[in-house]
Amino acid sequence: MHQGTWAKDKTMQDTQQHSKNGFSHSRLKISVGKMVELATEMGMENPLFRCHEQAAKSTTIINGREYINFSTYDYLDINAHEDITKAVTEAAKRYGTSAGASRLVGGERPPHRVLEKAIADFYDVEDCIAYVSGHATNVSTLGFLFGKRDAIFHDGLAHNSLLQGAKLSGAQRFSYTHNDCDALEKMLEEKRESCKHAVIVTEGLFSMDGNIPDLPRIIELKKRYDCMLLVDEAHSLGILGPTGRGVREYFNIDPQDVDMWMSTLSKTLCGCGGFIAGSKELVEFLKYGSPGFVYSVGIPPVIAQACSTALEILKKEPWRVEKIQKISQYFLSYAKSKGLDTGAAQGYAVIPVIIGNSMVTGFLSQLLFKRGIYVMPISFPAVKEGTARLRFFISAAHTEEQVRTTLDAVCEELPNAIEIVKEYQKSHPTVFIDQ
């Protein structure tokens, strides 16, 4: 065979092999990618990755324009607080901006220990471990603690990090109907006995729907069926309870009844990372074995300092908790009075306005953006098909006037968004647009 012909054939074979086994764009053609392409064709601007030019508070600046902002985790209006700025400036001068190594082998600094002790005290448990990533906290903890002979029973709407951790563990995974303790009980009755260890996994405040689990009932089931319990408080820490101590204060339960209190450091605590709070024995086991801790650099000392300072502010100023609860309840009440579908939301920090159609939701977000309101559309696969929504994150800094202005605009622009999609559908009858 001629060398040039062979080289050409070999290149074609390599290309074909690469497309079968390696990375190729075609492997990304899932529904999200197709949806983005269709949205662009319909004239929708991509709402993702917009650059904010200041700390994202109840208002934000994008391309020099101010927007009412409902896409920030700054629930208690603590981010950029002068006490935090001062504390992290001093910490950066002393410790730099990196932990420098895994904490196990040389990355340990005093702010790490101060933060973990403060969180453990806040939860009234023995100890705490802080990870560099909130998502990795769940993935690494569940993936490390459980194995093939075990079982993980998780809420049907559990966060992606919890699902990924369950998959990594190799344990049997059982998903029960969202917030349905009867379904959980039936599942435990049928499946628990065949497994060595088991854990029930739920959230303190669900991140897409803004509702709260029946934690007392879940604790009762956990005890009866000899399970561990992990509660993800990413969105409930600082939000629930009179002083922001989360879902355990909301229900007035014994913190020892939950084996693993998990939360992120990126929301109420204004930093980045995550933690597990619980018994000293559990935390020590994780610190010496959990891959996401052992094989990862520690969180930057300045971030640990920021988080512990934010926690101090939360404890000293409980009026912030009262304020976010009050404005959240006002938002929910006003939305319902306008006939908007808020699903199962209970009026705590996270409130969806469910539209249904993904494209309508996307265009509605775009129309609101043009009116100076920044709120993100959420669609499949983040939520079930047909339940696309605008997800509003409420801050203690939001005002009733901002809430009314925003929800009035939603009602005014929704028919326009529907009309845009209808007109496109008329001229493109073969194109499927989810209903």
Q: Where are the domains of the chain?
A: 29-75+319-427, 82-316
pLDDT of residue 424: 84
Residue 30 pLDDT > 70: no
- 309 pLDDT tier (thresholds 50, 70, 90): very high
The tens digit of pLDDT for each residue in 149-205 reads: 999 999 999 999 999 999 999 999 999 999 999 999 999 999 999 999 999 999 999
- 430 pLDDT tier (thresholds 50, 70, 90): low
Q: 240-271 b/e with 16+ CB inside 10 Å = b?
A: bbeebbbbbbbbeeebebbbbbbbbbbbbbbb
**Kind of pairing between the strands at 198-203 and 59-62:** unpaired
Residue 15 pLDDT > 50: no
Closest residue by Cα to residue 229 from 247, 244, 245: 247
- 365 pLDDT tier (thresholds 50, 70, 90): very high
- 56 pLDDT tier (thresholds 50, 70, 90): confident
Rounded distance, CA 173 to CA 159, Å?
A: 14
pLDDT of residue 400: 98
Of 222 and 2, the one with more pLDDT: 222
The tens digit of pLDDT for each residue in 381-403 reads: 888 889 999 999 999 999 999 99
Q: What is the pTM of this model?
A: 0.90
- β-pair partners for 352: 391
* Rg of the chain in Å (alpha carbons): 24
Residue 434 pLDDT > 70: no
Residue 14 pLDDT > 50: no
- 407 pLDDT tier (thresholds 50, 70, 90): very high
Residue 11 pLDDT > 70: no
Q: Which string of DSSP letters, residue by residue, matches 70-118?
A: -----TTS-TT-HHHHHHHHHHHHHH-S---SBTTTT---HHHHHHHHH
The tens digit of pLDDT for each residue in 58-115 reads: 999 999 999 999 999 999 999 999 999 999 999 999 999 999 999 999 999 999 999 9
CATH code of the domain occupying 29-75+319-427 = 3.90.1150.10
Residue 18 pLDDT > 80: no
Report the chain's mean pLDDT, rounded to a whole number: 91
The tens digit of pLDDT for each residue in 71-81 reads: 999 999 999 99
Lowest model confidence (mean pLDDT) among 127-141, 268-282, 320-334, 381-395: 381-395
The tens digit of pLDDT for each residue in 198-239 reads: 999 999 999 999 999 999 999 999 999 999 999 999 999 999
Question: What is the H or E stretch that residue 393 is in?
Answer: strand 388-393
| Residue carrying structure tokens 């609101």 | 368
| Residue carrying structure tokens 């405040």 | 205
pLDDT mean over 24-48? 64
pLDDT of residue 41: 75
Contact 267, 77 (CB under 8 A): no
Q: Which residues contact 218 (CB under 8 A, 6 or more apart)?
A: 181, 184, 200, 202, 229
For residue 352, cis peptide bond before it (omega within 30 degrees of 0): no
Q: Which CATH architecture has domain 82-316?
A: 3-Layer(aba) Sandwich (3.40)
